[in-house]
Amino acid sequence: MAARVAREGPNGGPRVVIVICDSLRADLIGPASTPFLSELARRAARFAAHRSVFPSTTRASAASIATGCHPARHGLLGNTMALDEGEGLVCRSAGHPDFPDRLRRATGRTLQVPTLAERLRWHGETSVSCANVSPGAAYFQDPDGHGFVYHAAGSYGPGRRPVDDPSSAALKKGLAGDRAMTERFCAEILEERAPSLAIMWLSEPDYTGHHAPLGSAQHRTAIAGADQCARQVFDTVRRLDPAGNDILFITGSDHGMETISRAIDLDALLIAAGLKEGPGSHDVVVAPNGTAATLYFAEPDSGRVPRIAHFLAGENWVGEVFAGDKLAAVGLPTNSAMRVAVTLAGEDRENPHGVRGYCPIVQDPADSESKIGFGQHGGLGPNEQRPFLMIEGGGFAPGRRLGASSLVDIAPTVLRHLHMDHDDMDGLALPRAAD
């Protein structure tokens, strides 16, 4: 464990602790795989119609949880984005550690709106985030260094000052890494440092869901492991605050998953249709986002945009095409180089392990992991848009909430508990009484 540091939080004041179980579908929560979450569902506020953002990818979700805004306002448009850094549009992975700097060079900023970490700093409070997901998903919770972010690719304190943190540097994705992170999060972050906001983002069950069939023994083991990590954090929280008056405990996922049915080479289809100049050309650039894709245009006001939207609408693997004002309806900007987005066409059937939902993906040359029969996400399919959310403490009455909720409602809920302004976000603070 790292050297002891001074207590950072208020003594006895309001605090928030968040645990994200990456990719855990609400319908895969049950007594066998997730005894803790099943039990918590009875004593906590449970949000039954909770939704992700679009694209339903971890990095865009991390930015939406951090800002309370959809991608249209925070500007991180998925796990991949095309950027023009002076040599034309090129698709880049937002997961790479250097991506926040590339985004800043291309657009002048990282995220376009403040994060929870920044808002807490305005009030002299500290946030601490521990994440075992991609560097991009970790850093987009606090890309400009207002609080602490601990990650295997590098840990940072306020001012993006590098922090030597061997325990994070040693973490690997998967259950063993998640367990080591949980130990450290509970002992050092929650018990000793006690910041106003502490977030822990587990790699599971996402990591295994990308490498094994959904519902397989490996996937169920990963789900059970994430459940145990969430229990350990909850037990620590309630030991520190038995009545639940001060510490608000939030646990949820960022999105669910669908089973991959096939891979679509969208670049090749566009080139064959005469709608893209060639492989690697900068005129039209596809940013694959799993079961969704976004398309960027060197000339966003040209006739190519409606021609490509029309072409995509005629493809049988396309679920829905968003262009023009329809982009705003799904939380995407209407005035960027990204002018067309698609969610792929899912099928409601069971995989060999009894888990419903298949969907094609758009092939990503930079992604060697996605395989037919394994899990993926990114689109608007019913199962990938089925994250879970439970909240306990802080005046939340137990019970099932039937009204719609979204990842963007988490930040305003956090700020309300901390007595900070939260009226300038897309999301709304969640109801404390059952509806």
Of 21-29, 31-39, 196-204, 320-328, which segment contacts Zn ion by CB under 5 A? Answer: 21-29
Identity of the residue, 204 or 254, whose beta carbon is nearer to Zn ion in the bound complex: 254
**Closest C-alpha among 289, 382, 383, 303 to residue 342:** 289
User: Is residue 22 near Zn ion by the rule CB under 5 A?
Assistant: yes
When the beta carbons of 89 and 293 are compared against Zn ion, the nearer one is 293
Minimum gap (Å) between residue 226 Cβ and Zn ion: 12
Q: Which is nearer to Zn ion, 377 or 416 (CB)?
A: 377
Alpha carbon of 277 to those of 285, 292, 295, 349, 378: distances in Å? Answer: 10, 22, 14, 38, 26
Give the shortest CB-327-to-Zn ion separation in angstroms: 22
CA distance 204 to 226: 6
Instruction: Report which residue's Cβ sits closest to Zn ion.
Output: 58
Residue 52 CB, nearest approach to Zn ion (Å): 9
Cite the beta strand spans of 109-194 per DSSP E. 127-131, 148-150, 155-157, 161-163
Residue 366 vs residues 64, 369, 370: alpha-carbon distances, Å: 24, 9, 10
Give the integer Cα–Cα distance in Å for 200 and 57. 17
Closest distance to Zn ion from the beta carbon of 61 (Å): 6
State the nearest-atom distance from the C-beta of 207 to Zn ion, in Å.
10
- Quote the least distance from Cβ 377 to Zn ion, whole Å: 7
Looking at the Cβ atoms of 232 and 376, the one nearer to Zn ion is 376
Under the criterion CB under 5 A, does residue 58 sit at the interface with Zn ion? yes
Please state, in angstroms and rounded to a whole number, the distance separating the CA atoms of residues 100 and 192: 31
> In this complex, which beta carbon is closest to Zn ion, that of residue 252 or of residue 393?
252
Q: Which of these ranges, 14-22, 99-107, 166-174, 293-301, lies near Zn ion under the rule CB under 5 A?
A: 14-22
Nearer to Zn ion, 22 or 144 (CB): 22
| Residues near Zn ion (CB under 5 A), total | 4
Q: Judged by CB under 5 A, which stretch of 54-62, 192-200, 241-249, 363-371 contacts Zn ion? A: 54-62
Q: Which residues contact 431 (CB under 8 A, 6 or more apart)?
A: 401, 403
Instruction: Kindly tell me which residue out of 8, 165, 188, 254 binds Zn ion, with binding defined by CB under 5 A.
Output: 254
Tell me the Cα Rg of the chain: 21
Position 178 contacts Zn ion (CB under 5 A): no
Choose the stretch contacting Zn ion; rule: CB under 5 A; options: 20-28, 144-152, 211-219, 421-429.
20-28
Query: Token pair for residue 253?
Result: 């996922």
The interface with Zn ion within residues 193-252 (CB under 5 A) comprises 206
* Gap between the Cα atoms of 142 and 67, Å rounded: 9
Structure tokens at 173: 């994705």
Using a 10 angstrom Cβ sphere, with 0-12 exposed, 13-18 middle and 19 or more buried, the burial of residue 369 is exposed
Of residues 150 and 207, the one with the C-beta less far from Zn ion: 207
The single-letter DSSP state of residue 335 is S
Q: How far is the CB of 254 from Zn ion (least distance, A)?
A: 4
8 Å CB contact between 152 and 170: yes
Binding site for Zn ion (CB under 5 A): 22, 58, 206, 254
